[in-house]
Amino acid sequence: MAKEKKNKELGISDLPGVGPSTAEKLAAAGIDTLLAVAVSPIGVLVEESGVSESVARKMIQASREMLDMGFDTAETILEKRQTINKIPTSSDSFDEIMGGGFETGAITECFGEFGSGKTQIAHQIAVNVQLPKEQGGLDGKVIYIDTENTFRPERIIQMAQGKGLDTATVLKKIRVARAFNSDHQMLLSEKAEELLKEGDFKVLIVDSLTAHFRAEFIGRGTLSERQQKLNKHMHTLLRLADMYNCCIIVTNQVMARPNVMFGDPTQAIGGHIVGHSSTFRIYLRKGKKGSRVAKLVDSPNLPDNECMFYVNTSGINDKEE
């Protein structure tokens, strides 16, 4: 207990090689806690603070020792998992394949062609997370990074009315930022940490994840650079999900694979980088008679499964209006 208290009193100024100037530079970059230093790549610390690589390495090592970071028992991990929450989708069948809804502390990727329901799901989760806890919500706020100008407050109002929520309050609890290029998008994801530190923000949405990367990096010659930037972006989001127990939702575009002769030729943009970084992956497609189909294609603890749902005026539903 005394050790715990001591760790809470220690800050980044107590690390070797960190003076007032360096601490100020790190804080400006959002690295203002021992945990933030401990999980930061060496290159990031060097770039943001101006210290040498050897000093950055010592800072990381010292912060990890102060926090007593190392191996935990599976029992301890299970205890930590008790803090994980689920955000319902408003579709019972969708919630069932997701084990109760979209999970906090994880990245959920929703990919599919246009009109498959990606943005509709993002809007619905932005509303549902604001529901009182007794109704399955988290009474939380939302950060929404819009890259394709698809966020619509009018749609939020319709969904909020469908849930019986005060529309003005729901709109005030959603912070929206328009990303104009991939660098701006990555900067906004880093700036989102300032809001997450408040503790009230439970969902971070990036709609869509790869639109700017796809437009800016054209041709095979730029593929390596694109994937490196995407990798950095995904790891930033993964760190935010883990540190703040936040539900991260990213929507993703697809492309058709010309070499696939049989079966579904669609493939998510971003390849293995996005696929491996995402905790849950949901493939969305149009179904029969106006329905949508959600297929859980990757999860660390749930079986592959699919369900059918509808997008109505009031939002996501199991039945057509």
> Does domain 2-66 match CATH 1.10.150.20?
yes
Mean pLDDT confidence for 95-103: 97
What would the two tokens of residue 65 be? 């020792």
Global confidence as pTM:
0.84
Confidence of residue 259 (pLDDT cuts 50, 70, 90): low
- Residues 130, 159: Cα–Cα separation, whole Å: 12
Confidence of residue 2 (pLDDT cuts 50, 70, 90): very low
Mean pLDDT confidence for 119-125: 98
Considering only CA atoms, which of 276, 281, 316 is closest in space to residue 295? Answer: 281
What's the pLDDT tens digit per position in 296-313? 999 999 999 999 999 999
- Report which residue type is found at 10: L
- Give the residue carrying structure tokens 């929450």: 85
Q: What are phi and psi of 157, to 5 degrees?
A: -60, -45
Whether 68 shows a pLDDT value over 50: the answer reads yes
- Residues 138, 85: Cα–Cα separation, whole Å: 8
Confidence of residue 263 (pLDDT cuts 50, 70, 90): low
Strands 201-207 and 141-146, by their bridges, are: parallel
Half-sphere exposure of 221 (CA within 13 A, CB side): 0
* Mean residue pLDDT across the chain: 90
Domain chopping of the chain, boundaries: 2-66, 80-317
pLDDT the model gives residue 257: 60
* Residue 306 per-residue DSSP state: E
Output 9 or 47, whichever has higher pLDDT.
Answer: 47
Q: Is-contact 133 193, C-beta < 8 A?
A: no
pLDDT the model gives residue 310: 97
pLDDT the model gives residue 107: 97
Task: Give percent of the chain above pLDDT 70.
Answer: 94
Mean pLDDT confidence for 25-38: 85
What's the pLDDT tens digit per position in 148-192? 999 999 999 999 999 999 999 999 999 999 999 999 999 999 999
Output 17 or 119, whichever has higher pLDDT.
Answer: 119
* Residue 210 per-residue DSSP state: S
Whether 6 shows a pLDDT value over 60: the answer reads no
Whether 20 shows a pLDDT value over 60: the answer reads yes
Q: Is-contact 26 70, C-beta < 8 A?
A: no
- Residues 174, 95: Cα–Cα separation, whole Å: 23
Whether 8 shows a pLDDT value over 50: the answer reads no
Q: Distance from first CA to last CA of the chain, Å, rounded?
A: 56
What's the pLDDT tens digit per position in 268-295? 887 777 888 899 999 999 999 899 999 9
pLDDT the model gives residue 256: 63
| Tally of CB atoms within 10 A around 2 | 6
CATH T-level assignment (fold) for domain 80-317: Rossmann fold (3.40.50)
List 268's β-bridge partners, or say none.
254
pLDDT the model gives residue 7: 43
Mean pLDDT confidence for 72-83: 90
